[in-house]
Structure 1
Amino acid sequence: MDLKLEPIVDELPAGFADLEADATADGHRQMTRLAAELTETPAIFHAAYACYLGGRLAGIGAMTDEPAPTAQPTWTMRRFYVHREFRRRQVAFSIAMALLQDAAGRVSTMTVHAGNQAAAQFWEAIGFRRVADLAWSHQRTMRDTTAGR
């Protein structure tokens, strides 16, 4: 597997148009939102990663402050999408682990909003637990970022 992670800093990664088109066709708008945010408010991102598989952009994930009020510093994983051709090939796992590693020691809790059951199962498999009555669906205490490896 020729999997390669690259940080996204100031511009959209090569191959972004294809990933955005796949996300839109799959009923998701997060790549369109990511493009706008990187242009208009890039400082909101603590980190963002592009993952390439076989030289093609396979997925993207980022993290920002959790927008809902919290009692302690909390970040959220967002703008997370894996191209349908590259699912179940460690792309999401690789991006999530890189983001968790970046957050380690900097924040006490990570959150995510799983949009469907498959996403919920993924987040639970890497150490997030389902929560109720909050603005997010899952959270993870940032004591150990090696779980799920």
Structure 2
Amino acid sequence: MTINIYVIRNRLPQEIASLESEARREGYRHITRLIQEWSAGETRFEYEGERLLGAYVGEALAGVGGMTLEPAAVEALRMRRFYVHPAMRGRGVGRSLALTLLDHARSFCSLVTVYAGNGGAAKFWESVGFQPCGRDGHTYVLEL
């Protein structure tokens, strides 16, 4: 299985609606917020160091993940709006997104934070190298 990672700029891909639908089915609202904030021009992942990625398997958008400035820490970035389609989990999609973003972050900061909303997410972020740290609105940090 080949995973292709693309930077999302200017507009969200049409396929984001499918990911939003799956996320909502699972009780997650962060992809809905991504779409709303993008549409309103509030969060476009356009400041220095920020980035939004899409992971494709074939023609299908299998996952998204982003990185924004961390409001609680100077010179830090925060992983945001991560979601992988349930059928694509355990196949390296999330890891590919995370590692691509972390590689990008090395040019901009020395600390990356993330909020893991559930136990599965916590295990994932730990597997990528993040360490528990429950303060300032995030649950994990990674020193680059």
Residue matched to 2:28 = 28
Residues in 2 aligned to 1:7 and 1:82: alpha-carbon distance in whole angstroms:
16
Residues in 2 aligned to 1:64 and 1:123: alpha-carbon distance in whole angstroms:
17
Residues in 1 aligned to 2:15 and 2:30: alpha-carbon distance in whole angstroms:
16
**Residue 110 of structure 1: how far off its partner (Å):** 0.2
Residue matched to 1:17 = 17
Residues in 1 aligned to 2:6 and 2:99: alpha-carbon distance in whole angstroms:
13
Residues in 1 aligned to 2:122 and 2:110: alpha-carbon distance in whole angstroms:
21
Letter in 2 for 1:131: C
Residue matched to 1:56 = 60
**Residue 132 of structure 1: how far off its partner (Å):** 2.9
Aligned length: 140
**Residue 85 of structure 1: how far off its partner (Å):** 1.1
Letter in 1 for 2:62: A
Residues in 1 aligned to 2:95 and 2:20: alpha-carbon distance in whole angstroms:
20
Residue matched to 1:67 = 71
**Which of 95, 98, 108 is equivalent to 1:96?**
98
Residues in 1 aligned to 2:103 and 2:37: alpha-carbon distance in whole angstroms:
23
Deviations 1:15-40 (A, max 9, x none): 11111100111111111111122221
* TM-score normalised by the chain length of structure 1: 0.88
Residue matched to 1:147 = none
Residues in 1 aligned to 2:119 and 2:19: alpha-carbon distance in whole angstroms:
22
Runs of 4+ in 1 over 4 A off after TM superposition: none
**Residue 133 of structure 1: how far off its partner (Å):** 3.5
Residues in 1 aligned to 2:13 and 2:136: alpha-carbon distance in whole angstroms:
33
SS in 1 for 2:117: coil
Residue matched to 2:140 = 138
Residues in 2 aligned to 1:119 and 1:46: alpha-carbon distance in whole angstroms:
21
SS in 1 for 2:138: coil
Letter in 2 for 1:8: I
C-alpha root-mean-square deviation of aligned residues, in Å?
A: 1.4
State the identity %. 38
Structure 2 unaligned blocks of 5 or more: none
